[in-house]
Structure formats: C-alpha cells, structure tokens
Chain A
Amino acid sequence: MDRTDSPRDTDGRAAALAAFDRRDDGADLAGLTEHPPLRPSAPRADPEPVTASLRFDHDDLGLAVQVLAPARGPRGSVDRTVHGQLTGHVDEADLRVRRPGRSFGVRVGADGRFAVTGLDRGPLSLEVRRPGRAPVITDWFTV
C-alpha cells in the first residue's frame, strides 16, 4: 500500500461500485486519438468557452466532440453542452449518450452533426449503433 493511502478512505466508494456494468463488454472501443491543448484565454471573454475538444476513432468511424460550459456560477451548477460530428459510414447510425447509470438517444443530422444541451456536470460517453455492426463506445470524458 502506498504511504499516502488511507485504509479508511471511502470517498467515492458508492459511485465506484455503481460503475460496475458488464453489458457493454461486447462493444468496440473508440479510443481518444486527439486531445489538443486549448490555448489559455481570458475566461470572461467567452460566455461559454470550449472546455475540451476531443476526437475518438474506431476503424472508419470518427467522433469529434466539443464540450462547452459557461463560466461557473456561485454554486458551480451550470448546464453543459456537447457538440459533435460523426464521420465515416454513419448512415442509419443511432447515437446514445451514456451517463453513469443511464443513457438516452440523440438525433444526428444528415451531415453527421449532433448537439446535446442541458447536461449536468459529470462523466459522459457516447455510443454509436449501426445496423449489422457491433456498437461502438467512446472512452469516458467529463463535461
């Protein structure tokens, strides 16, 4: 055990236990392939700055994602937005947003673009389902 470990440290235990879910073991993983550093900028200059710009890839499928979050309010609770673009063979693709313990579908435009607004802070992952193919899930990231 590391010297910094505390044997009684149980912060986050409930969330860690709840993460256990074997239902997506058969899915393919779209790993994070690009995470370009964002230039430091004046946070007040942009009311809804892009806090992360990510790209995930698996075979021919690509997912480019931007996370936007307004400057934090006094209580830190603000709605986040995710903009994204699917590329590759994505005709008839269904997109689902995965949050811890739940998921929901999102409409994708004919050009592969999508937007999810009103998100609570926390981890998020995306799942793409295409007919005749294994579902593809992205790594988890935070919004």
Chain B
Amino acid sequence: MGAGLPDQSHETIHTVVPSPEIVLLSQNGHQSPHLLPISATTGLDSDGLEPGDAELVRRACAGDARAWELIVDRHLPLVNAIARSYRLSVPDREDAVQNVWLTLNQYLPRLREPDRLRAWLRRVTNDACTRQRRHALRQRPVDPHMLADLAPADGPDPESAYLERERHEELHRAIRRLTDTRDRIAVLHYLDETPAPAWVHGGGPRAAANHRRRIIRTLRRVMKGPE
C-alpha cells in the first residue's frame, strides 16, 4: 500500500448530534409499548426499582437515550479506572475510553448476555487500552542510546500476564499435592525449573518416559479435582 493511491475525497460532512436532552422517548420519538418509562431525575422505573443492565440495554436498543445515560453513569468509573491502570498519556487514555463507548454503542443490539455488561466492558476496555498502548509505543520518540532498555512494544498485556501467572500457580499447587516426594522433584525437573537428580534418568529412557507419563496422569487428576 502507498504508491498510486487515490487522493482522499471529502464529500459532504454530516454531523451526528444525539439529542442533548434527557428524554423518555426513543430516538425515533416513539415509546416502545413494552417499556415503562424511567424517571429522568431518579433513574428508577415506575416500580421504584433501579433497572438492571439487561433492561437498560433493551431500552437503549429501542432508542431510549436516558437508558444509555444510566449505563454510562453506572459503568464509566469502572472503564476509567481500568484505563488509568494502563498509565497511558491523557490523550491516549481519552481515545481508548471513547473507543470503548463507541464500541458498546455498536454492539448494543448484538450483546448475547446483556446482564453481563460489566464483564463485557471490562474485557473491551482492556483490549482497547492494550491496543492504544501498542499504538502509542510506535510513536514515542526515544533516545537511540536507550533503545536496548525499552520494553518490547508487543509484550504480554496485564490480563494475559495475570492469566499466565494463575496457570503457573495452579500447576504448582497441584505439584505440591503430589504425595510422592520423588514425583515432586521429578516434575520440577521436567518443567526445567531444577537440575535433574541422578535417579530420574537412572533407569534408562524408557523408565523415565513411563515415569513422566504417570506423573502427568496424576497431575491431570489432581488439577481436575473431585468429580
């Protein structure tokens, strides 16, 4: 890509201005017959209850801007807190957060589990911030003499690093539960974490392979837990 590309052509620009008012009606001006109004002041429904995420998503899909506002107010602190944890520059963080809300707007009618909106937002925010950090690292001017000290731009994101650590800890919990001390020593060697004791390979390669298979079966049973 690059050479011989057509010039960009800016045609008519139209502005999307969602209604700034807090309204109880949908964007097309009609209240869905199945949706009771939400109070513009308290955010409670006609039964005096706080609507759940699934209900708010349903209302927002029907065009209820007040429901969208309640979604934003309920989850904005979470999205901002996750974004801040990435220590991005302010413009990068703002871009990532705006991306999250635009993405939610786009996926709103396609959410399979709207009652799990918070978990969905957590994942999307982490993804957006990871991409933004990678994007920003490609632009950051650096002293060439400092390049060797820079962390790679494509290192694991915090969530992947956390999951990797969890898997590692789960495996080591299972190893500690092995009843045979020799099995515990051998498995740590097989994980390349300790040097091989002489007896591990003393019985020949076939015996060592059988021993390894038996330990793996035992570990699988331990990690699977009781049926």
Could you list which residues of chain A lie within 8 angstroms of chain B, going by C-beta atoms?
1-2, 4-7, 9-13, 15-25, 29, 35, 37-40, 42-44, 49-52, 64, 66-67, 69-72, 76, 83-85, 100-109, 113-118, 121-123, 125, 137, 139-142
CA distance A102 to B60 in the complex (A): 21
CA distance A114 to B9 in the complex (A): 10
Do A40 and B89 touch (CB < 8 A)? no
Q: Which one of B78, B98, B105 lies within 8 Å of A2 (CB-CB)? A: B78
| Pairs of residues from A and B, 4 with the lowest C-beta to C-beta distance, nearest first | A105-B11, A37-B154, A115-B5, A5-B77
Q: Is B131 an interface residue (CB 8 A)?
A: yes
Q: Which one of B77, B107, B139 lies within 8 Å of A49 (CB-CB)? A: B139
Do B7 and A140 touch (CB < 8 A)? no
Nearest to A110 among chain B residues (CB) is B6
Q: Mark B54-96, 1 if CB is under 8 A from A, else 0.
A: 0000001101010011001100111111100100010100111
Residues of the A chain whose Cβ atoms lie less than 8 Å from the Cβ of B105? 19-21
Q: Which one of B1, B72, B82 lies within 8 Å of A85 (CB-CB)? A: B1
Residues of the B chain whose Cβ atoms lie less than 8 Å from the Cβ of A109? 4-6
Residues of the B chain whose Cβ atoms lie less than 8 Å from the Cβ of A15? 94, 97-98, 101
CA distance A117 to B142 in the complex (A): 25
Nearest to B104 among chain A residues (CB) is A19
> Which of B15-23, B162-170, B175-183 touches A?
B15-23
CA distance A106 to B8 in the complex (A): 5
Count of B interface residues, CB-CB < 8 Å: 69
Do A113 and B1 touch (CB < 8 A)? yes
Residues of the B chain whose Cβ atoms lie less than 8 Å from the Cβ of A21? 16, 18, 105
CA distance A71 to B9 in the complex (A): 25
Given contacts A85-B1, A104-B13, contact A19 B98 (CB under 8 A): yes
Q: Give the contacts of B98-145 with A (CB-CB under 8 A).
A: 98-99, 101-110, 128, 131-132, 134-135, 137-142, 144
Nearest to B143 among chain A residues (CB) is A44
Given contacts A20-B60, A104-B12, A106-B8, contact A12 B2 (CB under 8 A): no
Residues of the B chain whose Cβ atoms lie less than 8 Å from the Cβ of A13? 72-73, 76
CA distance A118 to B134 in the complex (A): 22
**A-B contact list, 11 entries, CB within 8 Å:** A2-B81, A6-B80, A9-B80, A19-B101, A19-B105, A21-B18, A40-B152, A42-B142, A67-B135, A83-B5, A142-B135
- Say how far B122's CB is from chain A's closest CB, in angstroms: 9
